[in-house]
A and B are shown apart, each in its own frame.
Chain A
Amino acid sequence: MDKRRRAVLAGIVLAAVAIFNLIYSLGHISDEQSFYHYSSQAMYHESFYEGGRYPDLFLRALVRDKKVILPRELKTYDMYSTYGRDEEHGNPFDKNYLIENDYIRYFKAYASETETDTSLLQMDEVGEAFSDKERGSSSEAVDQTLQGKLPLIEEFTSLGIANDLLRYSFPLNHEEVQQARGFWYYWYYHHFADKEPDRPESYPEVFVLTEGLSEADTLVAVWDENENLYLMPSERSSSLRVESQILPGTRPPLIRKRYLR
């Protein structure tokens, strides 16, 4: 076979192989892994909502240019007792050290600005206000039985579990404690947390009140003792604030709280 014929034949074969390659690949590749076409410029894709995946991608894009109001100041490791630590099984923490502070560190790192407002509901109060034992799956809005307790609750939407968001916040902790070792932290969320008797079966979730969320300049973030996070525009957060009333003639002052509606 002369050189020219050989070249043409080889070219045809190679072209056929290459085109078949392309058709096969494009036809089958989505069977193996999900590929996403993005309509926005965020790394968060709207289809993540269906499986409750990567709520932190949504959060970080959302809060980047916004102010977030938080319910308390950051507390340091030495402010916690040794109660609850389990050195034998590798837990150097009072669990509240993580529960009370991780979201504070998160928003201080990712929001453009943060502010503290201690009149916001604290963790146990949020837990009471938002608790619902029959809460549905992470992709549904919170159950309507909470109406009357807190009108806003039905408008919250779960974006998914906050596990990895919290797990990978370890670099934000600049204290000289074990949390700065990522895999101790992994242990907390994947082993220790699982064994907690009072912990609900599901891991902490991220709930957002979507109405007016992207337009708002200021957001409010509160969370409960299970680290379920609730994020909303500040204009919609009035029902989460408490008024403190000091009764005359009492020492120490008795703080009575009433919820605003």
Chain B
Amino acid sequence: MTEILLECMKNVTGGYLLRQAAVIVVLAAAGLVCNHCLFHRFRHSLAFRLLLAFPLGLALYSVEGFALLLLGIPFNAFSMAAALLLTVVAVAVCALRKGGRLAPGRQEAAAYVIFLLAAAATAVFCCSGLLSVTIDNDSVYYYSTYPEIMAKTGSYLKYFDTFMTDVGQTSAVLNTLPFLYGFDNTFGIQHFMNLDFILFFAVVTAELADRCLAKRAAGGSGDMDRLRPGALAAGVLAALFMTGSYPFIFISKWVMSNVYFMEYFCIIVALVLVLEAGGLSAGELRGCGFALFVLTAMLSMLRVEGVVVCAVLILCLSTLDIGKRTLAMVFILPVFILQGGFYAMLYLRMGVDPVYSFLDVKKALAITLGLIMLMVYILFVRDRVLKIRFIRERYRLLVILVLVLGNAAFLVVNTERYVSNLLTIYRNIRLGHGWGYFGIFMVLAAVLIAVDVVRGGVKDMAFVDFVWVCFILTIIAACWARGGALRMGVGDSGNRIMMETVPLTVAVIMQKCYYYIVRR
């Protein structure tokens, strides 16, 4: 009987592979055009233009789709294609008006053609079924059934009910791709995103390692064109380490929003790190502002806790030399617009009020208030407090202290739930539910960070270390805030969110190893 059912499915889904592969290539092309038009030609920017093409294209689709739905504009295959095309054209026009040259150079053009051909071949491979996936109820109903219904209705309806309060909306829109463009799953899209992310992770690690080497060797800015062998090796090893990690494999193959959240979060952090390593001048993001705007918007709505994680990430970014206007316009504004618009639609226009939901009116108000306070802090307070030397030298530690105090407040409000959640997270990692033995590396990262902080005289800490600690504290707080207790098992929501820290954990360990190697 299984053969008969398989034959039946093969008969009805002929042609789906090529359609999904074509969608992947189109999204990559859209992202590539935007990156080509906007990215400044900084060191090795070609690699970043190529590797950020698909993540940007996918984010553009998801964010624009969400915007169409929010605005009540009909959401269908045609309107989405038109929106994407208009965006790409608008970006090109903006670039032209800024005096940029649209036509790529010969080498650039060759690189783009090779990239798109490689993307097409890789897309076919990713859609072929050779790479496995795992799915569960959430995959089927939250991330497939709901998007299919959304694609059919072409608009938000209040009857979507808990689907709107419990599902990250850009995740849902992302998963409408099959139902708008004629296939049945997003496995190929997910695998392609995974492969792209692994390459991106390798390139970023290599780039940062190379800059580190260059600085220590020559005391200069490290402007050599080629990566040093040591840096290349660091990139390859980091990617191999991450890719082979048990929780990474788990999460990357699980058809859920966690994998996209993990990858988009790390892409934003990594891209900012790369820009910062090259020196951020007067807050300018070297033409990456548009990409970061869209990626942040995407991240904020990928999961229900996305907005909280974004807010903390923005707080982390405020410790870098990024101007307040850039922080506000590129990072806070997209989060504020999307969240505010969504809450207004949910509670003011539609009056959605599910019996049980992760998101309710009180949480929405608290989040909105938090975002306003964050905006006020960034625009009016941050620069002033950074003038105080004590704070400037310990700014990151103080941010961590604030997060710890926030967690302490939750502990006081509901001690039982907080402690129970913490113990459950710990036990899930220790017993290897989806973790294998990777928990050892989590402990190792924590120890290495602690040693670094103490050796540094309890002054400031490295940015990646700082983001890792903040991310974990935020996850624990978000698990408490969502209500209900966490449970033992690989499928527990808190457990899956904690698995999203794997790339950062690898980055922390690799960074420490690399500094150990290259120290004078």
Q: Give the interface of A toward B (CB within 8 A).
A: 3, 6-7, 10-11, 14-15, 17-19, 21-26, 28-29, 32-44, 46-47, 49-50, 54, 56-58, 60-62, 64-65, 109-110, 157, 159, 164, 168, 170-174, 180-184, 210, 213-215
Which of chain B's residues 41-93 have a Cβ closer than 8 Å to chain A?
none
Query: Nearest A residue to B242 by beta-carbon distance?
Result: A18
Query: Nearest A residue to B244 by beta-carbon distance?
Result: A22
B134 within 8 A of A: yes
Which of chain B's residues 116-162 have a Cβ closer than 8 Å to chain A?
127, 129-135, 137, 140-141, 144-146, 148-149, 152, 157-162
B20 within 8 A of A: yes
B390 within 8 A of A: no
Contact of B149 among A14, A17, A172 (CB under 8 A): A172
Q: In the bound complex, do residue B517 and residue A40 qualify as a contact, i.e. CB atoms below 8 Å apart?
A: no
Contact of B10 among A26, A33, A39, A57 (CB under 8 A): A39
Q: In the bound complex, do residue A183 and residue B437 qualify as a contact, i.e. CB atoms below 8 Å apart?
A: no
B19-55 contact mask (Cβ, 8 Å, vs A): 1 or 0: 0100000000000000000000000000000000000
Q: In the bound complex, do residue A28 and residue B13 qualify as a contact, i.e. CB atoms below 8 Å apart?
A: no
Q: How far is the CA of A60 from the CA of B151 in the complex (A)?
A: 14
Show 18 residue pairs from A and B whose CB-CB distance is below 8 angstroms, ordered by the A residue.
A18-B237, A18-B240, A28-B246, A28-B436, A29-B436, A34-B134, A37-B131, A40-B10, A40-B129, A41-B13, A41-B184, A42-B9, A42-B16, A109-B152, A170-B161, A172-B149, A181-B354, A213-B8
Instruction: Name the A residues within 8 Å of B10 (CB-CB).
Output: 39-41
Interface size of B in residues (CB-CB distance below 8 Å):
70
Q: Give the interface of B toward A (CB within 8 A).
A: 1-14, 16-17, 20, 127, 129-135, 137, 140-141, 144-146, 148-149, 152, 157-163, 183-185, 187, 230, 233, 237, 240-241, 243-246, 249-250, 253, 354-356, 433-434, 436-437, 490, 510, 513, 516-518
Q: A18-B237, A21-B241, A29-B249 are in contact. Are A60 and B148 (CB under 8 A)?
A: yes
Q: In the bound complex, do residue B127 and residue A41 qualify as a contact, i.e. CB atoms below 8 Å apart?
A: yes
CB distance from A134 to the nearest CB of B (A): 20
Q: How far is the CA of A57 from the CA of B152 in the complex (A)?
A: 16
Q: How far is the CA of A186 from the CA of B500 in the complex (A)?
A: 30
Contact of B249 among A11, A15, A26, A60 (CB under 8 A): A26
Query: Nearest B residue to A175 by beta-carbon distance?
Result: B159
Q: In the bound complex, do residue B244 and residue A19 qualify as a contact, i.e. CB atoms below 8 Å apart?
A: yes
Q: In the bound complex, do residue B159 and residue A170 qualify as a contact, i.e. CB atoms below 8 Å apart?
A: yes
Q: How far is the CA of A17 from the CA of B244 in the complex (A)?
A: 9
Q: How far is the CA of A210 from the CA of B7 in the complex (A)?
A: 10
CB distance from B32 to the nearest CB of A (A): 26
Q: How far is the CA of A41 from the CA of B17 in the complex (A)?
A: 6
Q: In the bound complex, do residue B240 and residue A19 qualify as a contact, i.e. CB atoms below 8 Å apart?
A: yes
CB distance from A175 to the nearest CB of B (A): 8
Q: A164-B137, A215-B11 are in contact. Are A25 and B246 (CB under 8 A)?
A: yes
